[in-house]
Amino acid sequence: MPLDRGLPDAGDRAFVLRLRKRTSVGSFRRVVQPDAMRSRNALRTSFLLLLSLTAAPDTASCQAKGEELVWARADSTVTVEGRRLALRVQAWRDFMPRVGGAQPGSDLMVSLQVVTLESSPLPPGLVVDSAWVRSPQGLWRTSPSREERPELENGLDLMLRGGPRWSTDQTIDVLVRLRLATGAVSYLLARGQPIGRTM
């Protein structure tokens, strides 16, 4: 007897609907719902990854803008607790010949002196905790070391060592951060300082 290839009648359609309700709905709950959860988890992971990738450049950009603002506002003198302070700078590289042949010259060294213009004592607890040296060749961020020199009264004698081997035919700008024991900060800036050569 040949098979009927026509459309199913109403009884067949009801049977098919009951069959789908008993099988397909349960499988949808067991299979499709976990897939949806995995999709949501993947979407959440992608969002967190994108957030982490975009946060770092924003932070670096904000830091760079903050530093530029400090450079723009800093001056050659600053008043701290009623005392006017200034920054003296001497920078050089050593090209003295050494045993073993010609040397390309030493790392950049910078001598810093923070002094009061009225020769009065420095504010108590004053320290210099950070320094920045800028040239056409780049920017050097560092921390100064204290140099004890009894001939310097009412001042801080500091040293920056291990700097970049910049060419000596240029000038540099030097910015330092002053910090009081209270946590208050100020900045001093010395512009256009030459890099010397010792032979």
Domain limits, the chain = 8-73, 77-198
DSSP string of 137-198, one letter each residue = TEEEEE--EE---TT--SEEEEEEEEE----SSSEEEEEEEEE-TTS-EEEEEEEEEEEEEE
Is residue 122 within 8 Å of 116, Cβ to Cβ? yes
Q: Which residue has the tokens 């924003």?
A: 58
Residues 18-22 have a mean pLDDT of: 53
User: How many Å apart are CA 55 and CA 157, to the nearest integer?
Assistant: 40
Instruction: For residue 79, give every residue at least 6 positions away whose Cβ sits within 8 Å of its Cβ, in sequence order, or none.
Output: 85
Residues 176-196 have a mean pLDDT of: 96
Q: Looking at residue 64, what is its pLDDT?
A: 73
Nearest C-alpha neighbor of 189 from the set 114, 97, 101: 114
Nearest C-alpha neighbor of 80 from the set 148, 112, 127: 127
Instruction: Retrieve residue 158's tokens.
Output: 């500091």
Residues 179-188 have a mean pLDDT of: 95
Residues 152-181 have a mean pLDDT of: 94
If you average pLDDT over every residue of the chain, what do you get?
80
User: How many Å apart are CA 89 and CA 160, to the nearest integer?
Assistant: 10
Instruction: For residue 157, give every residue at least 6 positions away whose Cβ sits within 8 Å of its Cβ, in sequence order, or none.
Output: 111, 112, 113, 146, 147, 148, 149
CATH number of 77-198: 2.60.40
In the predicted structure, residue 84 carries a pLDDT above the cut 60: yes
